[in-house]
Amino acid sequence: MKRPLLTKHRAAILAGTFALIAASCGSGDESTTSDPVATVAATSPATPTSEAPPGSEPEASPVPDSNCPPAASNSESQPSGVVVDLPDDDSGYTEGVVVDRSGNVFVSLIRTGTVLELAPGSDEPEVFGQIPDWSDDGVGFLGLAADEVGNIYGAAASDTTAGIWKFDCVSGVATRIAGTEEMVFANGVVVDQTGIIYATDADSGADGDTGLGAIWRIDTDGPATKWLESAALGSADPDSELPGANGLAVDDDVIYVANTAQSLVLAIPILPDGSPGDPTTIVDVVAPDGVTLDADGRLYVTSALNEIVRVDLDGTVARLAAGPDAPLACPTSLVVGAGTTAGTMYVTNLDGGCDGAGPDLVAFDIKTAPFVTDAADGPPEALFVVGDAANPDPLDQFLVDIAGSNDIAVTLLDDDETNTADGQSALQASDLVMISGSVDPSTVSADLAALAVPLINLAGELSVDLGMATESGETPSGETWIAMNPDTADHPLAAQLEGQQDAYSAPVDALNFGVVGDQAIVIATAPGAPPLTAHYAYEAGTVMADGTTAPARRHASYAPLESLSSVSGISAVLFFAGIDWLLGRT
């Protein structure tokens, strides 16, 4: 059935986002492979191909491969909760997930080029296939898809085994589709009902100072061709390590694509002649990775905030409140089951990207899951005090964008305007005050200390003036991590993170610290001896470091962040946990 494009729900479009960093690993278990590496057309010789030229729609669905078994009706249901918790080693880095027509679940392992298979309701995976001559020399083995007859397809971003691979429905033997070895960053893959394959290239090149991404199309008669290349599918910065076009889903004449770098989901019409229409923004989601559709046409998206975002046909956005029934840890891909598991959502977690947090594959009932609809009475209003509101620092603009993606309306205010009557009125009328590291502390009004509005401070030395610390500064770092305080592990500000966490993807020069009061909520400490408090807060009404009472919730972060490329997914999780706590959402 055809359906209209989903309407855009939010106004803020993100220009940057957080990198999800996975630890480097070696090779994994061996399984049956073909040698040497084979490259084939999109369909096997047994499959009739369309006579239509590339770029046009075939007149009929392809005939099933002659050796594929008929679809079976699964009889097992899938309990909600943990499905698979793989060992915390090479085999624990999961990315893609797909369900075939018989309800079998397939999962890709990033570092080993392996596809695992689970029968419906099973928690015991078996090796289904392996990319031959696999070499972990790139990003890894990512998205998965299944066609109507049971073949599995996977996207590999690697120097030597790059491209889209077809895993035979019976043997699991993998062969690369001709032409896809030219893809720069094969990321997501999907197969429509006619057998046409679409795949994302998250970093296809650059146009001047703009990074490009692409979608490739592989018709039933081959070969692979670049269907659409656009800045909307790439990263704004061509030198960024953040992926652009990522997961994708197809519904008749519309393709939905997650752009991780730009933190948005796009809808791209498939025109009658098979060519792409203009991309349209559907919803802003922080660092989206995977997208999928259910039988009712609702769109689901994974977010780096450990959320699943659902978009209904009318544009209404709802979010899954993660909990024991859906333990999300940097979720990557997601898919709806088949047969008796048609009401089940399977989700893979990027285990390594969350510093060992798991499990790797979870499931939940989408009809009973606690999806919460976004508030309709308008977003909270935040005032962001910065060094230059007319020409904001790129990091300031970045924080504005990601706050906007979390339904917060942000207005910039010059630091010297905090001393004016208009500035004071605006501060007092806001729901949240954010203070940037770009401010001049000597210029900011001393009245901010008594402001009865929740406040987050990213300017380290200003914490003393705000009464939050008796001493504040920057500690030499050269590290990438902060250490979570086990005594506050259950606090909402900790975002369920424990132990040492990589807050940065590369060593940073310094981290803010504060010498805090006895009633401070210490969330994390910076590297060094003795450990210095880097991430802390005060509840409203508690005594702060200078002996005054906190007039509202106060929070100090471990910023400054030298560059957006150094920020990890953990930073996103903690930033939004802080914002939600300050606003009373948690």
| Length, in residues, of the chain | 586
Mean pLDDT across 527-538: 84
CB-CB contact of 407 with 375 (8 Å): yes
Q: How confident is the model at residue 263 (pLDDT cuts 50, 70, 90)?
A: confident
Residue type, 87: P
Q: How confident is the model at residue 91 (pLDDT cuts 50, 70, 90)?
A: low
Q: How confident is the model at residue 144 (pLDDT cuts 50, 70, 90)?
A: very high
- The secondary element (H helix, E strand) that includes residue 253 is none
Q: How confident is the model at residue 24 (pLDDT cuts 50, 70, 90)?
A: very low
Mean pLDDT across 333-337: 96
Mean pLDDT across 469-473: 85
Give the mean pLDDT of the chain.
82
Q: Which residue has the tokens 């057309």?
A: 41
Q: How confident is the model at residue 354 (pLDDT cuts 50, 70, 90)?
A: low
Tell me, yes or no, if the pTM score tops 0.75: no
53's CB contacts (< 8 A; 6+ apart) are: none
- Provide DSSP, 118-183: E-TT----EEEEE-TT----SSEEEEEEE-TTS-EEEEEE-TTT-EEEEEPTTT--EEEETTGGG-
CB-CB contact of 544 with 532 (8 Å): no
In 3D space, the residue among 260, 212, 218, 275 whose CA is nearest the CA of residue 239 turns out to be 212
Would you say the C-alpha torsion 329, 332, 336, 340 has a positive or negative sign? negative
pLDDT score, position 50: 33
